Chains A and B, each alone.
Chain A
């Protein structure tokens, strides 16, 4: 039974495969996280007409290393009346799920740590564990701002989980399987063309879930100082920081696997295609983060429930109809139809939908 799980062309027993991929994931994830940190700071800097870090190492490449060393040496303050154990445990609970997501991401043909046949379900389950960690951090810091930040995080993740999962189901319908390998193999036409509305909903929902770009309310520095990680410093704070970039990379990897055709690509070697696509999606996140102001918490909620959720249902319904009623229609025609549907639905829906401007009568 053990060998059955072994991908055909990998030498050595299961444990050799496991060991190689654990090392790959740790090196890939931590390395690319550092790279992502540097890339974001440089890209944002150039887009803001300034230089960004360029003092430590060539082009500032060692800046993340310098930050890491600085943070490790920083004093680790624990709030006096805070809950010590929960305060210590929170960063672990936030960062561990992020690393576990990469276990299922296919870097190349067979190159996957565990080719689970319920790959995408595993990812959705694991990514909601991180929210518990954030709330633990908010509560344990015994600080009003942290509590506000944690409450916002929980509220937004709970309400964005539904549109994200519904848009994933749309993709799974087309691919016919939950396993990430199969989804990539089924993408002769990248699903972003077949599922444009699904891609839009997933991307917006994912941005809100990892609190990046327009939805970074959890540590909105202009409002509630630094949200749930106000009372953290030193290595615990850097764990949260790495957790955030890890989640951004995980979401980019999932988007590439689900919508952009993973490692499939004409000329370049497959693993390079995967990295290029992840880099592209990450760059769009950085690009949006540089330009767009922050959304208010009730608008965030209103967007989830009144805009994304109904559209996700409609999208699921339309995809199901397409698969059942017109299986024979060629995929390229479907691409045109789906894009038209997306445009019509988005315009129609935003006409009805008013972002919450409510002034609460006190």
Chain B
């Protein structure tokens, strides 16, 4: 049975490692500050106890005043999972650090979020539109796109 690690527990561990990197946490998920995203993600992947080597999915949601990007992490060896969230504010050019360097599965999924939400990911090898043609104006999955 894949045990979903509780956000609070992981939040405490993160507190001593990376002070004030965690903005909010609840039993299911854990919100990380934008700057610390890469360090926390690398920590989650590298520490043998957590060992999150499998980034199952990246999804983004447009909550009108901020975009929230969820990273659904799983560990195949330890069979546990965690939901890591990152928020980016501002609607004209929201951006987040890209995690492609840690998990190559993020490659197409980040391109898709860039294409449909307009969130650009710094450090992504070839951030281009994946599903729509390059000349397309606007990002369809935003709530204000009609």
Please tell me whether chains A and B touch each other in their complex, using a CB distance cut-off of 8 A: no
Interface residues of A (CB under 8 A from B): none
Interface residues of B (CB under 8 A from A): none
